[in-house]
Structure 1
Amino acid sequence: MTAPWYLGRLAAFDLETTASDPEKARIAEAYVGYVGGGLNPIDREPLLIDPGIEMPAEAAAIHGYTTEHLREHGIPSEQGVPIVAQAVAEAVLDGIPLVGQNIRYDLTVLHRECIRHDVETVEERAGQPISLVIDTLVLSKYLDRWRRRVSAEQGAHVLKTTAQVFGVSWVDEEAHGARYDALVAARVAWHMGRIAHMPLAQRPRVLSGRDDRRHLFDDLAVDLPTLFASQQRWAAEQAASYQEWLRSPKAGEKRDVNAVISGEWPIQSAPVLTP
């Protein structure tokens, strides 16, 4: 009998970048490490990369990397991007699931960077599609759809909140580096999987709201290919729901009647440019 996925090897992956828009973002730091599976962890040093463009102040305020620091300590982007792509492709080739928070963003940015530098993408290097992924953001939104924001600054499903919900240690001073965020996401995924494989009556009540929705964890107690397919469906549903909200009066100042939110996962297709 195959062991539950949370007891297997996990490849923790995260990027720090120059922008929140994956079409504009450049990689500034990358981490790929291995945990779990009854084996010793492989905890590589994060890779600092000079993105070749100025680091916006709002991005530097999050991860702390300035243009000057990356120019001095980072390797050129054209050298760093293939290294990151190869590290991720090796996990894909070894059948080890990639784990991250909002990993669609990271995989999309990496894919765009490979195209930008005219090097093989992860899927081209692996010779196969990326098909084993655990996205703690998608899982968190599925399990606890109506969770409220912690504060005006801390969202309901950001990594910090999800870590706190599942009892994973969070230190603000260490957060928002690629290594820290990747490993926290892997720990969150482990706790989600552990709860999913408990008998229903023994599961802790970590989900918000009055109704007992611990049965939702049943949908995580499946094999990795099934979980991957479920996440594709849930990501599409979550995107459609957010798009509907943005187009409605409920969105207030954020309302955009023409809003289009892609539900593609785990890599978002490039937008079609019109003349």
Structure 2
Amino acid sequence: MREIVFDTETTGFDPKDGHRLVEFAGVELYERVPTGRHLHFHVNPGRPMPAEAEAIHGLSDAFLADKPPFAEKAAELTAFLADAVIIAHNAAFDMRFLNYELERCGYPRLDDGRVVDTLELARKRFPGAKHTLDALCTRFGIDRSARVLHGALIDSQLLADVYVELTGGRQIGFDLTVAAAIEATGEKTVWPVRSFPIPEQDLAAHQQFTAGMKESIWARLAQPA
């Protein structure tokens, strides 16, 4: 399954108040493993950057002055997202801006049904705890030392690691018979059990290969006890 973990930076909290998107970054996962492919760009919002927003992400009017408008990046963005599941932290915020910008230049809205909100995942898994990206990185032991300011690319990369941990961790599927319980920050966490389906053609090729082997361990293991 192809998934895109993404983040945005904006001039404020709501496009209804005249605020605009200024940065997008998304990293690609396939079967919850980073592929190394990503999309990252800045856009000129066509309005001044409020000081309080610049203090958060460091994106100034001078930096954004020569960046293209969102309309010039919309086709690249929609091609990159394609039909992937899209994942964000506090997704309603990011989706509000993405859909506003897409509709503004004639593109259809992104379907909310394809969105996963890691904030909601974290609240269900760790009720009563802090659910900020920083807090989740600390909980899972994810290095966030490079995150000096908010930035869409570093935040989407960190969030990809958080998402993998929230949905079972990188060792998911290694225990194929029982759920593995671990102690984490004083809480017992039971990882979901996953298995890896083997294509029929691979099974057939393996059986053909082992059929010609003398004293095959696979043949002995396959015999009923």
Unaligned runs of 5+ in 1: 1-7, 124-128, 148-155, 223-275
CA contact (8 A) 1:52 1:77 kept: no
Q: Aligned residue pairs: how many?
A: 187
Partner of 1:52: 46
Aligned counterparts of 1:122 and 1:87: Cα–Cα separation in 2? 15
Query: Of the candidates 113, 118, 122, which is equivalent to residue 140 of structure 1?
Result: 122
CA contact (8 A) 2:56 2:149 kept: no
Aligned counterparts of 1:14 and 1:41: Cα–Cα separation in 2? 16
For the residue of structure 1 that corresponds to 2:167, the secondary structure is helix
Partner AA of 2:108 in structure 1? T
Query: Of the candidates 56, 62, 80, which is equivalent to residue 73 of structure 2?
Result: 80
Partner AA of 2:182 in structure 1? R
C-alpha deviations, 1:126-148, integer Å up to 9, x for none? xxx3433332111111111211x
Which of the pair has more CA radius of gyration? 2
Percentage of matched positions with identical amino acids: 23
Partner of 1:42: 37
Partner of 2:135: 161
Partner of 1:202: 181
Compared CA separation, residues 62 and 162, structure 1 to 2 (3 A): same
Compared CA separation, residues 85 and 104, structure 1 to 2 (3 A): farther
Higher strand share: 2
Q: Please say if 1:70 is aligned against 2:64.
A: yes
Partner AA of 1:163 in structure 2? C
TM-score in terms of structure 2 length: 0.71
- Counterparts of 1:176-215 in structure 2, within 5 Å, are 176-195=150-169, 199-206=178-185, 212=187, 214=189
Partner AA of 2:50 in structure 1? P
Aligned counterparts of 1:86 and 1:32: Cα–Cα separation in 2? 12
- Counterparts of 1:1-275 in structure 2, within 5 Å, are 8-24=1-17, 25-37=19-31, 40-44=35-39, 46-72=40-66, 74-88=67-81, 90=82, 92=83, 96-115=84-103, 117-123=104-110, 129-147=111-129, 156-171=130-145, 173-195=147-169, 199-206=178-185, 212=187, 214=189
Partner of 1:248: none
Aligned counterparts of 2:80 and 2:109: Cα–Cα separation in 1? 9
CA positional deviation for 1:62: 0.9
Higher helix share: 1
Compared CA separation, residues 18 and 82, structure 1 to 2 (3 A): farther
Partner AA of 2:8 in structure 1? L
Partner AA of 1:167 in structure 2? G
User: RMSD between aligned alpha carbons?
Assistant: 2.7
Aligned counterparts of 1:182 and 1:134: Cα–Cα separation in 2? 14
TM-score in terms of structure 1 length: 0.59
Aligned counterparts of 1:22 and 1:143: Cα–Cα separation in 2? 31
CA contact (8 A) 1:82 1:119 kept: no
Partner AA of 1:144 in structure 2? F
Aligned counterparts of 2:34 and 2:51: Cα–Cα separation in 1? 40
CA positional deviation for 1:30: 0.8
Aligned counterparts of 1:39 and 1:21: Cα–Cα separation in 2? 31
Aligned counterparts of 2:45 and 2:109: Cα–Cα separation in 1? 19
C-alpha deviations, 1:90-116, integer Å up to 9, x for none? 1x2xxx32122112211111111223x
C-alpha deviations, 1:211-266, integer Å up to 9, x for none? x4535x65xx79xxxxxxxxxxxxxxxxxxxxxxxxxxxxxxxxxxxxxxxxxxxx
Partner AA of 2:36 in structure 1? P
CA positional deviation for 1:81: 4.1
